[in-house]
A = this chain, B = another copy of it.
């Protein structure tokens, strides 16, 4: 037991999770925590608007295992519900720490500023978009409650919400040493789980042994639970072809000889789709079968041939093993007899190769992808990470050859890109983010380049400027309410201290990219596209979604 102030205990838990920076905006109810944080090694990156705080902390968490957002009560916290919802949907370990009124005000001052209905409104709202919540209003339970929210956030890789009453920040508590709950391997429950694991892994191995054309589908949970290296080793040992899902993109290195492409149902490249859907044995590790992961439910997996391992269960064919986690399954497969002795064929890479048409006078999405892949395949390729917003920037971005790729692939919230790039570069300073962002999304949060400038970060931001919500236009039809004003994005960048260049042709874009790569500043490329130019992936996707929308419009 030692005495510690509650804020110091929280900072220590954040530090122990390997976090160096938090993200936030100060406000009166969180000021004491900001002040307390100066006693720790932590530093807050102050963003310009709370939605960006959420995106940046989320991105940091995706790369470092925990992201932390520090906001004030009401006007701060409630302005971050959407990014926290995104983090929940995409299983990102994002911890929200919100200031709150003193415990004594909660009793007798009902109409305090930043308060909506009751003092519990914000907590109740966050309970719908997080895995765990607490209000720290009591010294005696503080440690247990803080530990519960931290532990749940880390073990589930889902957001947690910690509301800290202002008078609790510097309240001293007796901190007891934390001992992880010891699991007795001989307990009946542990024995049952071990038997289930053995049975499930036995089945997986048996099916793989019989397979002629197996494929390993690597999904997002592999990254979320820190299993990337294990899965790379497993793919090598099994000598099995690997595809990744959209949320799982770059979870498996795309330069690995076993990698054959991204799978995205009928939205993705046709060769990968054909290979996967003709496979007689699909082992899915950590892919979550959301609408987006399955290409709008167009994935044609034969359930007889599918084995799905996730953080909560194993499904083989039509039967389910509840309560098994990805991690022990991967470990058991690595230790199995099959490892190192299978003899499958790896096809040549089947990924759709997107190239610009030299005849195009105006810049096209395909030409940008080709130029970017030249950069990413070059000697400095691994100096970069890729961060995309949603829209064609994301769907086209799936064709980029990279080993770090962040995108809101399932929840598809616009505005993620630029703030997420700030989180990404703070998390991995050795990687310069290349951000692909549509003009509509840039208009939401793009001015966070100001925060990049302030923090001496230098993302390269490519604005897909087609002066419209292009995706909506392709899903519906031309409507005046899809038109976006054409901003002078370069002028805008310069007004907040960044640099930039406009590109109207493929050659312009090449020059702009070259100049950006040489610059040590945040750099915006205003990429002027024709309104009807979209990537093949987006064309397939909008063809699909437009049927639903048009049915509802009729």
User: Which A residues form the contact surface with B (CB < 8 A)?
Assistant: 26-28, 31-32, 34-36, 44, 46, 48-51, 74-75, 78-79, 81-82, 85-86, 88-89, 102, 109, 111-117, 121, 124-125, 128-129, 166-167, 169-170, 288-292, 297, 410-415, 443-445, 447, 450, 453-454, 469, 472, 475-476, 479, 481-482, 485, 487-489, 491-492, 494-497, 545, 548-549, 551-554
Contacts and interface: CB of A to CB of B under 8 A. Distances in A.
Given A44-B481, A117-B129, A121-B128, 10 more contacts: A35-B553, A51-B79, A75-B82, A78-B85, A79-B82, A116-B411, A166-B549, A450-B487, A485-B496, A491-B495
A346 B256 CA distance: 85
B116 A89 contact: yes
28 contacts: A26-B481, A26-B482, A31-B552, A34-B481, A35-B476, A75-B82, A75-B86, A75-B411, A78-B85, A78-B129, A79-B81, A81-B81, A81-B82, A85-B116, A88-B117, A89-B115, A111-B410, A114-B411, A116-B128, A121-B128, A125-B125, A125-B129, A166-B548, A454-B485, A487-B495, A488-B495, A491-B491, A495-B495
A160 B340 CA distance: 62
Copies of this protein in the assembly total 2
Given A75-B82, A128-B124, A472-B31, A552 B113 contact: no
A46 to B, nearest CB: 5
A289 B112 CA distance: 10
Contacts of A489: 495
A450 B485 contact: yes
Contact of A28 (B44, B497, B545, B554): B545
Closest 6 CB pairs of A and B: A491-B495, A111-B290, A75-B413, A79-B82, A32-B552, A78-B82
Contacts of A495: 487-489, 491-492, 495
Nearest to A166: B552
A74 B74 CA distance: 20
Nearest to A554: B170
B443 A49 contact: yes
B412 A114 contact: yes
Contacts of A443: 48-49, 447, 450
A112 B485 contact: no
A413 B475 contact: no
Contacts of A102: 548, 552
Contacts of A289: 111
A113 B247 CA distance: 12
Given A472-B28, A495-B495, A88 B116 contact: yes
B121 A549 contact: no
A485 B453 contact: yes
A109 B297 contact: yes
A488 B496 contact: yes
